[in-house]
Chains A and B, each alone.
Chain A
Amino acid sequence: MTPVTAGRARPARVRRRRFTPASPSWLFAAPALAVYALIVLYPALAGVVYAFTDWSGIGREMSFVGLANFRTLLGDEQAMGSIGNTLLLTVAIVLVQNGVGLLLALGVHARLKSRALLRVIFFAPVVVSPVMVAFLWKYIYNPDPSSGLNGLLGLRVDWLGDPSVALWSIAGMVVWQYAGYSMVIFLAGLEGVPRELHEAAMIDGAGTWQRFRYVTWPLLAPAVTINLMLSTIGGLKLFDQVFAATGGGPGYATETLSTVLYKQAFVFGKFGYSTAVALVLALFVAAVSFVQVYYLRSREVSA
């Protein structure tokens, strides 16, 4: 194994590149990029214009209002409150979903007899539509002390109706659904950890924890990067589950940026303002993801 520097291809690839002048270039990506630009980038950028107007979403009446929508956003108690909720939800989801996902991955990576079955079971919730998950969990979160989760645990919690609990109930539901998703990505990472390294570490006298900490964990870094990024983005733009479970209530207790921008556009008829909120959300997600990737990539290693 030859040490290679970051950003360089491996020796095999370098050799191949030298012998084939028509090396794979960005031209291969061009068709995909063109489609992406046409159906994602262009409409998204074209939509940005509305953030500077007072368009209601229907009809032709529209005038440019400059930065007024953004000034409204700063003074909008409900939207600002929703930013707090969004951040709390995201932090909770990122930590718990990935923590649980990692534990599940380590569990089913072990040489268990039923590990294939367990992998399928843990991944199963991921394939269910998020709205259906929310409807199912509404039954599980029934406030009646004799049914659902309350009945099972002998509790009397108003899961979705108590403003101080509702946000965490939603986080729980999201974690239940997507922990399997994190697990799959961690599993892929675990499969890539060479057995020789573990064997070598064992010969050196490393215990289970030490082998995890000094062999597995550093090599899992790429999986960690992908998982943290995906769950952060997922958390920041969370909509379906919140909307189907509580609609942002009780009161404004579970309102997220996504539900606010939905309501502004489709319930209040303020399309222009809604686009401004969406633009802020998009920039915010982009900034967070960029910082995350920049920081996490720097600690990635390979065997």
Chain B
Amino acid sequence: MTDLLHHARVSRGQFLRMMGGLAAATLATTACSTRPDTTATTGGGEAATELKFIGVADQKTPMDELAAAYRKAVPAVRVTASYAPTDQVQTSLRTQLGAGNAPDLHVVYPGNGSAMSMSQIAGAGLLADLSQQAWTGTIPAGFKPAFQLDGKTYLYSAGSSVIGAVYNKKVFEQAGIDAPPATWTEFLGVCEKLKKAGVTPIALGAQTPWVTQLITYALVPSTVYAKDPSFDDKQLAGQAGFAGSGWQQAMEMYLELQKRGYFNDKPNGTTFEQQTSMVATGKAAMAIQVSAVLPDFRKAASSPDDLSMFPVPGADDPAQVWIPAGVVVGLGASAKGRNVEQAKAFIDFLGRQENVNAWAKAIAAIPLTQDANSAIDPAVESFLPFTKDRAVPFMDQRWPNAEVQPVHFAVVQELLAGDSTIGEALKKMDEAYRK
């Protein structure tokens, strides 16, 4: 008996049954794969040229609107757009760019510092030069590094967004707070009052990686750039680093908020969506966020007018309070596409003032250039006094590679988990910066 058991193999019946199970399972799994959200933005009629656009989900509202407007203005050209979350777009677009079959138009992040940023893609020779277009002459000087590489413009973006505190006015009122804080000490006081009133002062969804960076970004303009506006240049020249700079102070302030119990319980297990709903429903009083997601907060709230924003005061001297204002995610034309000229013409159309206004309005951004018709979201009005000379672009837009930002996400999560020290965290960021 043992002999017999030792020497034979699996019977055909057994084998077929196993394989049948396997095949069924494989089929079932592959049949359920996900598909990106594709919309034909303009309909009806035969178009001579079809321009393909691939963008991130945040661009859907303004792009659908303006592509339809372009169809009316230029009936021979149809813009077909598809959108997906940032990670997915990054994967598929980089693959297409690498294989040399990029869409005519695609999402591009401003400045440098990410794999889909203007500097990285234009540097590889894959973006069409837009410098001849009239609107590029009006780009404010401070924003030029976001749009231009070696003096040539490769990016279209409708404006800038700011990082600050998205707050629930009703919750503030109920806690007896009548005005947003103007200094760091006042900010801590407001948090204390809110905590005593039984609400979570600040909702933090640090499980969603990009959310981790926003509090540092909100504070660093005051702790670093207000003292030394040329910090980026010094850092690029190797004369300054994260360690030993105002970044140290900003991280200490970040962790002080945690130590005093001003964040929700377990921020590392909380997502952006949960953070949004906490503020929208009044369970938490505020969230440090970028103004581009204000529409998300409003959608989640029963009365959207309850939500507004104020700049996070990162210093005790109001004159030393600076804010982060970054160019919003935009688009570029593929230099290698079949319809380069038509794609550039579409971007030229987007560059007209009324279209800049329309795009900016759809995402609650501050329009790149303004005229009498420019609508500025009332929620970001309190930021306008800063935008002239006390605002700095989002920090990553000047970082030399795409590694610093993800390291920043990771070290903040480690700090919130109590697994690391500020010294170690900044050392890791410096190492990534020098790669």
- Asked if B22 is at the interface of the complex by the 8 Å CB criterion, the answer is yes
- Asked if B229 is at the interface of the complex by the 8 Å CB criterion, the answer is no
**B9 & A161 in contact (Cβ 8 Å cutoff):** no
**B11 & A192 in contact (Cβ 8 Å cutoff):** yes
Q: A180-223 CB contact bits vs B (8 Å, 1 = yes)?
A: 01001101110110000000000000000000000000110011
**Contact A138/B271 with A58-B98, A268-B402 known, Cβ cut-off 8 Å:** yes
What's the least CB distance linking B433 to chain A, in Å?
13
What is the CA–CA distance of A114 and B132 in the complex, to the nearest angstrom? 73
**B124 & A58 in contact (Cβ 8 Å cutoff):** yes
In this complex, how many residues of chain B approach chain A with their Cβ under 8 Å: the count is 62
**A129 & B32 in contact (Cβ 8 Å cutoff):** yes
**B4 & A3 in contact (Cβ 8 Å cutoff):** yes
What is the CA–CA distance of A163 and B87 in the complex, to the nearest angstrom? 23
Q: B402-425 CB contact bits vs A (8 Å, 1 = yes)?
A: 110010011101101101100000
What's the least CB distance linking A3 to chain B, in Å?
5
**B266 & A158 in contact (Cβ 8 Å cutoff):** yes
- Asked if B339 is at the interface of the complex by the 8 Å CB criterion, the answer is no
- Asked if B209 is at the interface of the complex by the 8 Å CB criterion, the answer is yes
**B21 & A302 in contact (Cβ 8 Å cutoff):** no
Q: A92-106 CB contact bits vs B (8 Å, 1 = yes)?
A: 000000000000000
What is the CA–CA distance of A247 and B13 in the complex, to the nearest angstrom? 42
Collect the chain A residues with CB atoms within 8 Å of residue B87's CB: 243
- Asked if A73 is at the interface of the complex by the 8 Å CB criterion, the answer is no
**B18 & A250 in contact (Cβ 8 Å cutoff):** no
- Asked if A267 is at the interface of the complex by the 8 Å CB criterion, the answer is yes
**Contact A58/B97 with A4-B7, A185-B22, A266-B91 known, Cβ cut-off 8 Å:** yes
The contact of A222 among B4, B10, B267, by CB within 8 Å, is B10
Collect the chain A residues with CB atoms within 8 Å of residue B34's CB: 129, 131-132
The contact of B417 among A3, A163, A222, by CB within 8 Å, is A163
What is the CA–CA distance of A141 and B270 in the complex, to the nearest angstrom? 10
**A162 & B269 in contact (Cβ 8 Å cutoff):** yes
- Asked if B5 is at the interface of the complex by the 8 Å CB criterion, the answer is yes
- Asked if B342 is at the interface of the complex by the 8 Å CB criterion, the answer is no
Q: B94-126 CB contact bits vs A (8 Å, 1 = yes)?
A: 100110000000000000001100001101111
What is the CA–CA distance of A86 and B91 in the complex, to the nearest angstrom? 22
The contact of B33 among A129, A222, A250, A266, by CB within 8 Å, is A129
Interface residues on A, range: 35 or more
- Asked if B29 is at the interface of the complex by the 8 Å CB criterion, the answer is yes
- Asked if B268 is at the interface of the complex by the 8 Å CB criterion, the answer is yes
What's the least CB distance linking B267 to chain A, in Å?
7
Return the chain B residue nearest A59 by Cβ: B124
Collect the chain B residues with CB atoms within 8 Å of residue A3's CB: 3-4, 7-8
- 10 closest Cβ contacts across the A-B interface? A161-B269, A59-B124, A161-B268, A302-B8, A143-B269, A251-B414, A301-B5, A127-B28, A188-B17, A250-B413
Q: A192-B11, A222-B10, A301-B4 are in contact. List 15 more A-B contacts (CB 8 A).
A: A4-B7, A6-B9, A56-B124, A58-B98, A126-B25, A158-B268, A161-B417, A163-B417, A192-B13, A250-B414, A250-B417, A251-B414, A253-B417, A263-B406, A269-B115
Can you give 15 A-B contacts (C-beta < 8 A)?
Answer: A3-B3, A6-B8, A57-B94, A126-B28, A127-B32, A161-B268, A161-B417, A162-B268, A188-B21, A222-B14, A249-B268, A250-B417, A301-B5, A302-B9, A302-B14
